[in-house]
Amino acid sequence: MSRGLNKVMIIGHVGRDPEMRYTPSGRPVTTYTVATNRSWTSADGEHHAETEWFNVVTWGSLAEICKQHLAKGQQVYIEGRLQSRRWEDSENIRHTSVEIVASEMMLLGDKRESASSVNNDYLPSEEMEDEFPY
C-alpha cells in the first residue's frame, strides 16, 4: 500500500482578526488569513519581493485558542494540510478555494507586539529579507 503526504508549514503575519463560528452540531471553527514574504535578488542585481496570502481554518479547541490569542499583525507559525473546496454560486459560476487546515499554531515574535504597531497593509520588509535568505 502506498501512502500520500499532504503537509504544509508557513511562518507569516496574521492578515485579519480571526473569525469564529460554530457548526450546527456546536463544533467551533475559526478562519483567518496569513501573509508570507519571499524576497530574492535576480541575476542582474534587482531586488524582488512577493507576498503570498493563505486562508487558514482551525477546528475544535485549536479554533478557540486562535480566536482568543491571535490578532491582525502577529507573527505566527502554522502547520497543517492543504484542502481545496469547489462550489457553484447562485449564478452557476464555479469557484475553487485552497486553504490550510491547521493542526498546529505557534505564536512567534515579541508577545508585546500589538496589531496597532503593524502597518495595515502587510508589505514585505527588508528585515524579513535578512531573516530568510533563501
* Residue 24 counted as domain residue: yes
CATH at residue 117: 2.40.50.140
| pLDDT above 90 coverage of the chain, percent | 78
Per residue in 87-97, pLDDT tens? 999 999 999 99
Q: Measure the CA angle with vertex 36, ends 48 and 40; round to 5°.
A: 20
- Distance CA(104)–CA(78), nearest Å, equals 6
Residue 23: inside a domain: yes
Q: What pLDDT was estimated at residue 39? A: 93
pLDDT at 132: 37
Tell me: pLDDT of 116 over 90.
no
- Which domain, by its residues, includes 101? 8-131
48: left (phi over 0), alpha (psi -120 to 50) or beta: beta
What was the pLDDT predicted at 114?
Answer: 47
Residue 90 CA to its chain's centroid (Å): 28
What are the Cα distances from residue 116, in Å, to 66, 74, 112, 119, 130? 18, 10, 11, 7, 24
d(CA 29, CA 66): 10
Which of residues 129 and 10 earns the better pLDDT score? 10
pLDDT exceeds cutoff 80 at 118: no
Domain count, the chain: 1
- 3: in domain: no
In a domain, 2, yes or no: no
pLDDT in tens, 12-68: 999 999 999 999 999 999 999 999 999 999 999 999 999 999 999 999 999 999 999
